[in-house]
Amino acid sequence: MPSGSFVAGIDVGTTKICTIIGCPQTDGRLEVIGVGLNPSAGLKRGIIVDREYAIAAIRSSVEDAQQQAKVEVRDAYVGVTGAHISSVNVTGRTNVSPGPAVSEQDVQRAVQSARDGVPLPQDREIIHEVVREFTVDGEEGVTRPVGMSARRLDVELHAVTGTVSIVENVERCVIDAGVAVARRALEPIATGMAVVTEAERDLGVILIDVGGGTSDVAVFLDGSIAHTSAIPVGGNHTTRDIARLLRVSFDEAEKLKCRYGRALPDGIPEDESVQVQLANGDQSEHVPLKLVAEIIEPRLEETFALVRGNIKRAGTYEQASAGVVLSGGGSKLPETAALASRVLDDLPVRVGSPRGIIGMADAVASPVYATGVGLALLAAREGAGASSEPEGPQTLLQRLTRWWEGLLPRA
Ligand SMILES: Nc1ncnc2c1ncn2[C@@H]1O[C@H](COP(=O)(O)OP(=O)(O)OP(=O)(O)O)[C@@H](O)[C@H]1O
Ligand SMILES: [Mg+2]
Does the residue 167 lie in any domain? Answer: no
DSSP string, 168-214: HHHHHHHHHTT-EEEEEEEHHHHHHHHH--HHHHHH-EEEEEE-SS-
189 within domain boundaries? no
As a whole number of angstroms, the distance between CA 8 and CA 284 comes to 45
Q: Which of 15, 20, 228 to mutate to test the pocket of ligand 1 (most atoms within 8 A of CB)?
A: 15
Query: Can you tell me the distance from the alpha carbon of 222 to that of 208, in angstroms, rounded to the nearest whole number?
Result: 18
CB 210: neighbour CB atoms within 10 A?
A: 28
Per-residue pLDDT of the chain (411 residues; tens, 9 = 90+): 444 699 999 999 999 999 999 999 999 899 999 999 999 999 887 789 999 999 999 999 999 999 999 999 999 999 999 889 999 999 999 999 988 899 999 999 999 999 999 999 999 999 999 999 999 999 999 999 999 999 999 999 999 999 999 999 999 999 999 999 999 999 999 999 999 999 999 999 999 999 999 999 999 999 999 999 999 999 999 999 999 999 999 999 999 999 999 999 999 999 999 999 999 999 888 999 999 999 999 999 999 999 999 999 999 999 999 999 999 999 999 999 999 999 999 999 999 999 989 999 899 999 999 999 999 999 999 876 544 333 334 445 445 544 444 443 332
With a CB cutoff of 8 Å and minimum separation 6, the contacts of 359 are: 22, 23, 30, 31, 32, 33
- Burial of residue 98 (number of CB atoms within 10 Å: 0-12, 13-18, 19+): exposed
Cβ atoms of residues 390 and 232 within 8 Å: no
The rounded distance, in Å, linking the Cα atoms of 121 and 98 is 35
Helix (H) or strand (E) holding 245: helix 235-246
Residue 396 Cα to ligand 1 midpoint, Å, equals 34
Q: Which atom of ligand 1 is nearest to the CA of 236?
A: 29
Q: What is the pLDDT, as a whole number, of residue 43?
A: 87
Tally of domains in the chain: 2
Atom of ligand 1 nearest to the CA of 15: 22
**How many angstroms is it from 329 CA to the middle of ligand 1?**
3
371 CA to centre of ligand 2 in angstroms: 6
* Closest ligand 1 atom to Cα of 214: 26
Q: Structural domain of residue 276, as residue ranges?
A: 235-290
Q: Is residue 300 part of a domain?
A: no
CA–centroid distance, residue 288 to ligand 2 (Å): 30
Do β-strands 215-221 and 205-210 pair in parallel, antiparallel, or remain unpaired? antiparallel
235 contacts: CB under 8 Å, gap ≥ 6: 15, 210, 211, 212, 257, 328, 329, 330, 333
Whether 356 is covered by a domain: the verdict is no
User: Which residue owns the Cα nearest ligand 1 atom 8?
Assistant: 329
Task: Output the domain CATH number for residue 260.
Answer: 3.90.640.10
Determine the distance separating the centroid of ligand 2 and the alpha carbon of 89, expressed in angstroms: 24
d(CA 55, CA 41) in angstroms, rounded, equals: 9
Single-letter code of the amino acid located at 374: G
Nearest Cα residue to atom 25 of ligand 1: 211
Domain boundary residue among 290, 317, 333? 290
Residue in 300, 332, 371 to alter for ligand 1 test, most ligand atoms within 8 A of Cβ: 332
Distance from Cα 212 to the centre of ligand 2, integer Å: 7
Which of 234, 239, 183, 172 lies closest to 209, judged by CA?
234
Indicate whether 4 belongs to any domain.
no
Least distant ligand from the CA of 300 = 1
At 399 the pLDDT is 52
Residue 14 belongs to a domain: no
Tell which of 130, 161, 192 closes a domain: 161
Residue 378 maps to a domain: no
**What CATH code is carried by the domain that includes residue 129?**
3.30.1490.110
The Å distance, Cα 207 to ligand 2 centre, comes to 13
Give the global pTM: 0.92
What confidence score (pLDDT) does residue 99 get? 85
Nearest-atom number in ligand 1 for the CA of 216 is 25
Distance 99 CA to ligand 2 centre (A): 47
Closest atom of ligand 1 to 215 CA is: 26
- In ligand 1, the atom with minimum distance to the C-alpha of 81 is 27
Q: Which atom of ligand 1 is nearest to the CA of 43?
A: 27
Ligand nearest to the CA of 330: 1
Residue that is last in its domain, among 257, 290, 323: 290
Does residue 266 form part of some domain?
Answer: yes
Q: How many angstroms is it from 331 CA to the middle of ligand 1?
A: 8
Q: Within 6 Å (CB) of ligand 1, which residues are found?
A: 13-16, 40, 46, 211-214, 234-236, 239, 254, 257-258, 261, 328-330, 332-333, 368
What's the confidence (pLDDT) of residue 285?
84
Q: Which of 368, 369, 371, 373 to mutate to test the pocket of ligand 1 (most atoms within 8 A of CB)?
A: 368
Helix (H, G, I), strand (E, B) or coil at 280: coil
Residue 221 DSSP SS3: strand
Q: Which residue, 9, 107, 96, 89, is CA-closest to 398? A: 107
Measure CA of the first residue to CA of the last residue in the chain; give whole Å: 31
